[in-house]
Each structure stands twice: as C-alpha cells, then as structure tokens.
C-alpha cells in the first residue's frame, strides 16, 4: 500500500485532537467520503492517531520518556523486534546476490611502496595483544559450567567502575571503556543457565559495588528464543545482555549523533567483555539479533528509553566448524576478499 505524497498535507490539519467531521467541514469542496477515506488511510499508516487508541497511549508514553532527537527515534523504533533471517537463508541470498552484485572489497591494500610495520611481539611481551588475537566467536559450546569468577571478570571488564572524575557540572563514573561525556549509559542483565556458584535465573549486574541482584528466578525462554531463533545459543551457559539507558546520554547530548555514541559504546563494552572471556579460555559470541520485547519483559524494564541492544552468549568453546585460514595461506591462494573462491 502506498501513501500518496499529497495525502501528507492532511497531517497539518490536526495538530491536536480534532473531530473528523470538523476536518471535513473545513473542506466543503471535497467529497466528505474521500476526506474520511484519506484520514482513515493516514491512521492505517500510523501517521495520524485517534484519541484513546493504543497508538495514542504509546504516543504519550513516547513523549514522556524519549529525550533523544526524533531522527534517532526513527532509527531506533524501526529496528525494534525486527525479523531476522536464518543463517541458511542469509547464505543462499548472499550467493545469489554475488552473481549480480559482487561484494565490495573487504579491505584496501597499499599497492605502491608500502611501509611494512613491525609485527606484534606476542612472545610474552604483550599479553593483551595475544588475548586479542585469540578472541573468536565459537558458536559450539560444551556442556560445562562457567565459574562465578569467570563471569565476574567479564562483567568487570565491560562495566566495572574504576573511579570517578569531578567536573564543573557533576561527578562521573569512569570505567575501562570510554564513554561519551562519561555518561556511561549501559547496564547489564544476565541469564545464568549454568554458572558454578550461582543459582540459575535472571540477574542485574550493579557496577557500583560489583554485585549481582536477582531479578527473576524463572527464565523459561531458551537463549535461542531470546536471540531470534539462533539455536547455537542454546549451547551456551550464560547470556549477558547490554541495556542502554538512553536518557543518561540524552541528558547531555540531544542531537541524533548521540544515538551513534551509544551504539559505539556497546561495541567497546562488548569487546572488553569478550576479551575477558578469551582470557579465561571461554568463547563469547556477540549478537544484535534480539527479541527486544521479550527481553524487556524478562528484565522488568518499563521505560521506552531503556533498551536491550547487544548480547554476548558465553560458554566453553567446543569444536568450531569455522576453519580459520592463516593470512599467509590466503595471500598464497590469490583469493579476492569477500568473493566466493572456487572450491577444488
Ligand atoms: C554487532 C555484531 C552483531 C553480531 N550479530 C551476530 C548474530 O546475530 N549472530 C551470529 O551468529 N553472530 C553475530 N555476530 C558475530 C559475527 O558473525 C562474528 O563476529 C564474525 O563472523 C567474525 O567472527 P569472529 O567474531 O570470530 O571474529 C555479530 C557481531 C557483531 C560485532
């Protein structure tokens, strides 16, 4: 169904609650049935809302709780609970697309006169680089518990408070990851399925005090149900979900870029959590394919501006079906990055 551009001018007719008949009366030359029909279509598109309807209720909640720019709201709400396709369907679609629209190069080489850089020394001098190099998404978890210490490391690396800074405007928490304006918008909830020393259930991690609080002893949905049907997640033992409290950032930054700032921070926090897991010989699998509404209900989240954004499923790595091809082998084979190589 298409919304005619000229129909949009009707949106200016009723900036506040207005009787439909009053709008019809304002247009004596138009056929009243056609006007009712237009208003009906605008309601169907969600562009015009009726008083006391569910949409009106949602609108008043939105106005009361959403503090970021309206452009950010479009991006945000369009992505809520969006459907995700299976890995198989995605693979088929990529193979078909490559036939008519080859993938762009996935990296840009320096072709002329490259200045070769010294390789990272991983022989004991730089353990952090070694941990970074070993991080891998392994979607095949072993049925073995994660320990409370391992989980604590992960949460601490991502969200632990390491101190405070006093500015002219306020006192702000500092963490191991950078945060725009030190507004630190993220909280973590976790679903412990099999953690040694912790009853199964849903918990909130409080960065202040570095503690867990039980939110819900029942976590009946499986991890895959909370992660758009991704069955590999059911082989994991803990699911950590990063929830952005958008109004913390919006309090200081009100432009659309603030939403980007929050997304960028999810990446920083997620990476630190994953590195802490790697350091403990665990696999940590990131995913943004979330059943947002189910997670909100599970965590008891009420504000529209508190948003599950990113999840990390943690477990012990089993045999990973994804073979890692060494860089030298890739170069020797003369493959093109992103393209589907000819199989032998
Ligand atoms: C923001 C983000 C979202 C991701 N979402 C998914 C996902 O929904 N499902 C999944 O299996 N992997 C997901 N991944 C993991 C990537 O597929 C994975 O990082 C990539 O294949 C490279 O493998 P590596 O993590 O071992 O380097 C996501 C990664 C990122 C950074």
Instruction: Give residue 312 CA to ligand 1 midpoint distance, Å.
Output: 10
Whether the predicted pLDDT of 78 surpasses 90: no
Residue 123: inside a domain: no
Whether the predicted pLDDT of 240 surpasses 90: yes
Domains of the chain: total: 2
Domain boundary residue among 64, 79, 94? 79
Q: Are residues 299 and 223 in the same domain?
A: yes
Q: Are residues 68 and 135 in the same domain?
A: no
Q: Are residues 161 and 26 in the same domain?
A: no
Domain boundary residue among 46, 79, 112? 79
Q: Are residues 139 and 75 in the same domain?
A: no
Q: Which pLDDT score is estimated for 306?
A: 96
Q: Are residues 36 and 148 in the same domain?
A: no
What are the pLDDT digits (tens) for 188-211? 999 999 999 999 999 999 999 999
* Average predicted confidence (pLDDT) for the chain: 90
Q: Of 82, 287, 338, which is best to mutate to test ligand 1, by the most ligand atoms within 8 angstroms of its C-beta?
A: 287
What are the pLDDT digits (tens) for 176-191? 999 999 999 999 999 9
Residue 125: inside a domain: no
Please tell me if the CB atom of residue 230 comes closer than 6 angstroms to any atom of ligand 1: yes
Q: Which pLDDT score is estimated for 3?
A: 64
Q: Which pLDDT score is estimated for 120?
A: 67
Q: Of 141, 227, 288, 320, which is best to mutate to test ligand 1, by the most ligand atoms within 8 angstroms of its C-beta?
A: 288
Domain extent at residue 22? 5-79
Whether the predicted pLDDT of 282 surpasses 70: yes
Q: Which pLDDT score is estimated for 343?
A: 60
**Left if phi > 0, otherwise alpha if psi is -120 to 50, otherwise beta: which for 124?**
left
Residue 86: inside a domain: no
Whether the predicted pLDDT of 1 surpasses 70: no
Distance, in Å, from the CA atom of 278 to the CA atom of 205, rounded to the nearest integer, reads: 20
Q: What is the pTM of this model?
A: 0.87
Output 154 or 75, whichever has higher pLDDT.
Answer: 154
In this structure, the strands spanning 195-196 and 146-147 are parallel
Residue 114: inside a domain: no
Q: Which pLDDT score is estimated for 87?
A: 81
Tell me, what CATH number does 304's domain have? 3.40.109.10
Average pLDDT over residues 286-293: 96
Q: Are residues 34 and 172 in the same domain?
A: no
Output 174 or 99, whichever has higher pLDDT.
Answer: 174
């Amino acid at each position: 169904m298409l919304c005619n551009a000229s129909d949009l001018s009707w949106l200016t007719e009723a900036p506040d609650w207005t009787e439909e008949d009053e709008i019809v009366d304002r247009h004596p030359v138009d056929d009243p049935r056609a006007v009712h029909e237009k208003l009906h279509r605008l309601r169907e598109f969600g562009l015009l809302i009726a008083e006391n309807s569910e949409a009106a209720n949602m609108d008043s909640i939105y106005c009361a709780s959403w503090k970021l720019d309206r452009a950010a709201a479009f991006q945000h709400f369009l992505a809520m609970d969006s459907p995700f396709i299976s890995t198989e369907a995605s693979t088929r679609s990529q193979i078909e697309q490559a036939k008519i629209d080859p993938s762009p190069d996935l990296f840009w080489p320096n072709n002329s006169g490259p200045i070769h850089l010294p390789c990272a020394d991983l022989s004991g001098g730089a353990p952090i680089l070694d941990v970074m190099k070993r991080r891998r998404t392994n979607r095949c978890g072993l049925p073995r518990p994660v320990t409370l210490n391992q989980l604590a490391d992960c949460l601490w690396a991502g969200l632990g408070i390491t101190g405070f800074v006093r500015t002219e405007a306020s006192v702000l928490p500092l963490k191991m990851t950078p945060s725009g304006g030190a507004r630190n918008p993220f909280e973590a909830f976790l679903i412990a399925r099999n953690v040694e020393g912790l009853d199964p259930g849903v918990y909130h991690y409080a960065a202040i005090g570095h503690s867990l609080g039980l939110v819900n002893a029942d976590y009946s949905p499986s991890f895959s149900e909370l992660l758009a049907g991704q069955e590999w997640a059911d082989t994991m033992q803990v699911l950590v979900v990063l929830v952005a409290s958008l109004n913390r950032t919006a309090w200081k930054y009100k432009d659309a870029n603030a939403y980007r700032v929050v997304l960028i921070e999810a990446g920083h926090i997620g990476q630190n959590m994953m590195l802490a897991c790697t350091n403990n010989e665990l696999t940590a699998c990131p995913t943004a394919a979330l059943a947002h509404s189910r997670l909100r209900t599970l965590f008891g989240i009420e504000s529209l501006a508190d948003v599950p954004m990113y999840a990390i499923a943690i477990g012990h790595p089993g045999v990973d079906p994804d073979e890692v091809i060494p860089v030298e082998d890739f170069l020797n084979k003369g493959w093109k990055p992103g393209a589907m190589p000819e199989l032998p």
